[in-house]
Amino acid sequence: MTIRPEPAVAMPSGAEFATDGAIHLNGNSLGPPRTTLVAELDRIVSDQWARRQVQGWFSDGWLDLPRTVGDKLATLLGATPGQVVVAGETTSATLFNVLVAACRLRADRPVLLVEAESFPTDLYIANSVARLLDRRLVVESRAGFDAYLHEHGDEVAVAVAAPVDFRTGERREIGPTVALCHRVGVVSVWDLSHAAGVLPVELDANRVDLAVGCGYKYLGGGPGAPAFTYVSARRQSQVDFPLAGWHGHARPFEMSPTFAPADGIDRARTGTPPVLSLVGLNHALDPLIEVGIDELHRRSAELGELFLDCLAERSPELAGRLASPRDPDRRGGHLALRVSQAERVENALAERGVHVDSRPPDLIRFAFAPLYVTHEQVRRAVEALCDAVEGVR
């Protein structure tokens, strides 16, 4: 990979981030806020809520925010409009909603298949759904996932996987697994939490059925920002969600005692959405969209390569502790090193103004969020890392 010279402006977009002078290499967990976020929240609170009160739902578009934000997100996910919505729930509840609906699409099959390397909440929720719907949960390693589908696909109702391993950043291709799912009649569900905003996932082109993802991490929506749901257009008339709240009703303001699901992606809406958190996510998306997912990915990969090159030069021993693929095409937006006393190293880095995160027992993750990480910062982070590891020893 050729590392282009640093652009004259630090950020590809004009957006500025409130980094407090620190280096933020944890966009895989929580990026910094934009400097304009507080002004945007002020606008919503003071100009809309205080002035137009409950009419803000209509006159200021709050009611449409789940769709507005969803359509913006869609451009980062390779989806045409009308297939993504931010209902306002956590990622866990959103995945629950999607997995129940997915299983209902194949009521005739006993198995819910999930990757062993999934983020823990995905395993918990998949287990919960399997219990509720009396399915058999099969937890299969990523390496054996497609083989399981090949051998036992006719028993599988739903297969849940993630394009990026949350620990190592290892990437898996979505397309081949989805194609296999289609061949054997399995509903494919993807958790995009560690990919959205940094890796092209091409949901439409890959013919994904259903997907979810969180609004923080690379999307930058802020701590605990609500999750999104993708339902491919060809599945929208078939899905039957358990979180059948009034905002998913075809005519919510008729206040009918009987539920009639809305057409299209609105069916994936649930209850009254949390406007302040949705505004946070909405505001974070603009610079990402402006730059575009392909350029975001290219720049992130370039920063990751720079990090590894500098590390190899400064400390071949540390560089040898890479727990992620060396090939940037096989990584998402982050990579991980295996370092003893990972949490102490994380804290030592924080003291040096470098934010990373550790995962027990021995992983430190470094994320290369393309909007607010510069080449110069990557070089400084490598120095700080080497010093921190020395200091902890």
Site for its own copies in 103-142 (CB under 8 A): 116, 119-121, 123-125, 127-129, 132-133, 139
Q: Does 156 bind its own copies (CB under 8 A)?
A: no
> Nearest-CA neighbor of 264 among 243, 240, 233?
233
Cβ closest to its own copies, residue 275 vs residue 384: 275
With contact defined as beta carbons under 8 Å apart, do 122 and 191 qualify? yes
Spacing of C-alpha 96 from chain mean position: 16
Using CB under 8 A, which of the segments 180-188, 297-305, 352-360, 370-378 binds its own copies? 352-360
Half-sphere exposure for 335 (CA within 13 Å, toward CB):
25
Binding residue for its own copies, selected from 109, 247, 267, 334, defined by CB under 8 A: 247
Q: Count residues binding its own copies (CB under 8 A).
A: 87
Q: Does 53 bind its own copies (CB under 8 A)?
A: yes
Q: Does 57 bind its own copies (CB under 8 A)?
A: yes
The whole-angstrom separation of Cα 2 and Cα 306 is 10
The whole-angstrom separation of Cα 297 and Cα 319 is 22
Catalytically annotated residue among 60, 165, 191, 266: 191
Report the sign of the C-alpha dihedral through residues 29, 34, 39, 43, in that order: negative
Binding residue for its own copies, selected from 1, 3, 38, 205, defined by CB under 8 A: 38
Catalytically annotated residue among 146, 218, 365, 368: 365
Residue 370's region, left for phi above 0, alpha for psi from -120 to 50, else beta, is alpha
The whole-angstrom separation of Cα 318 and Cα 339 is 8
Catalytically annotated residue among 67, 217, 267, 331: 217
271 class by beta-carbon count within 10 Å (0-12 exposed, 13-18 middle, 19+ buried): middle
Show the CA angle centred on residue 216, arms to residues 212 and 222, nearest 5°.
Answer: 145
CB of 216 to its own copies, least distance (A): 7
Cβ closest to its own copies, residue 26 vs residue 232: 26
3-state SS class at 240: coil
Cβ closest to its own copies, residue 121 vs residue 315: 121
Is residue 72 part of the annotated active site? The answer reads no
Binding residue for its own copies, selected from 11, 244, 312, 392, defined by CB under 8 A: 244
Cβ closest to its own copies, residue 44 vs residue 79: 44
The residues that bridge with 182 in the sheet, in sequence order, are none
CB of 280 to its own copies, least distance (A): 5
**Residue list 161-220, contact with its own copies (CB under 8 A):** 214, 216
Is residue 191 part of the annotated active site? The answer reads yes
> Nearest-CA neighbor of 358 among 329, 331, 379, 385?
385
Is residue 216 part of the annotated active site? The answer reads yes
**Residue list 250-309, contact with its own copies (CB under 8 A):** 252-259, 270-280
Binding residue for its own copies, selected from 11, 12, 13, 19, defined by CB under 8 A: 19
The residues that bridge with 213 in the sheet, in sequence order, are 228
Cβ closest to its own copies, residue 5 vs residue 360: 360
| 237 φ/ψ angles, rounded to the nearest 5 degrees | -80, -10
C-alpha to C-alpha distances, 209 to 121, 212, 215, 230, 358, nearest whole angstrom: 21, 11, 20, 8, 33
CB of 50 to its own copies, least distance (A): 4
Cβ closest to its own copies, residue 219 vs residue 319: 219
- Parallel, antiparallel, or unpaired: how do β-strands 136-140 and 23-24 relate? unpaired
Residue 147: count of CB within 10 angstroms of its CB: 11
3-state SS class at 340: coil
User: Tell me, what amino acid is at 175?
Assistant: G
Residue 20: count of CB within 10 angstroms of its CB: 9
* Both tokens assigned to 278: 């949705």
CB of 182 to its own copies, least distance (A): 27
Q: Does 353 bind its own copies (CB under 8 A)?
A: no
Cβ closest to its own copies, residue 88 vs residue 169: 88
Binding mask 60-99 for its own copies (x = CB under 8 A): --x------------------------xxxxxxx--xx--
Cβ closest to its own copies, residue 123 vs residue 386: 123
Catalytically annotated residue among 17, 96, 216, 228: 216
Using CB under 8 A, which of the segments 168-176, 237-245, 328-336, 381-389 binds its own copies? 237-245
Binding residue for its own copies, selected from 110, 185, 224, 325, defined by CB under 8 A: 224
Catalytic residues: 119, 191, 216-217, 365
